[in-house]
């Protein structure tokens, strides 16, 4: 069994893994501390402004995330916790609510309205928030 170790030593190889610093590899953290960037898109029609509103942050139903029109699509991104659900709607021209036409999942909000729903948020690249414990 000494022969394989001798070969490794002679070729300058080690059994210690070398971290991959060229990729988007991230330090592991508990899933409860992971945060994902979640993109939202809405095909543009005749609206002049669109805001993404929802429960993704405190006050998000009153003042949402302004969406930017890029070509024929309105776009915005939010940060959401790993595994969390997000209820949201598009607020059009400051006076009309729209469910996400690209997302068939919805949920009643308990106040007589229906919201679009993203469940179990996950992402390939996340950030880790510090633990508050």
8 A C-beta contact, residue 66 and residue 75:
no
Query: Which pLDDT band, with edges at 50, 70 and 90, does 10 fall under?
Result: very low
**pLDDT score of 45 more than 60:** yes
**132/2 Cα distance (integer angstroms):** 49
Q: Which CATH number is associated with domain 19-128?
A: 2.60.40.10
Domain ranges of the chain: 19-128
C-alpha radius of gyration, the chain, whole number: 22
What are the angstrom distances between the C-alpha of 69 and each of 39, 42, 75, 100? 14, 9, 6, 16
pTM of the predicted model as reported, rounded to 2 decimal places:
0.76
């Amino acid at each position: 069994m000494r022969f394989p170790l001798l070969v490794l030593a002679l070729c300058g190889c080690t059994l210690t893994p070398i971290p991959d610093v060229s990729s988007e590899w991230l330090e592991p953290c508990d899933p409860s501390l992971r945060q994902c960037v979640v993109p939202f898109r809405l095909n543009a029609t005749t609206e002049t402004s669109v805001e993404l509103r929802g429960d993704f942050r405190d006050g998000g139903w009153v003042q949402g995330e302004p969406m930017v029109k890029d070509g024929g699509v309105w776009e915005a991104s939010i940060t959401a916790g790993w595994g969390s659900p997000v209820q949201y709607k598009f607020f059009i021209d400051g006076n009309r609510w729209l469910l996400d036409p690209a997302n068939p999942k919805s949920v009643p909000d308990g106040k007589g309205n229906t919201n679009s729903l993203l469940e179990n948020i996950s992402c390939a690249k996340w950030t880790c928030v510090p633990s508050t414990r």
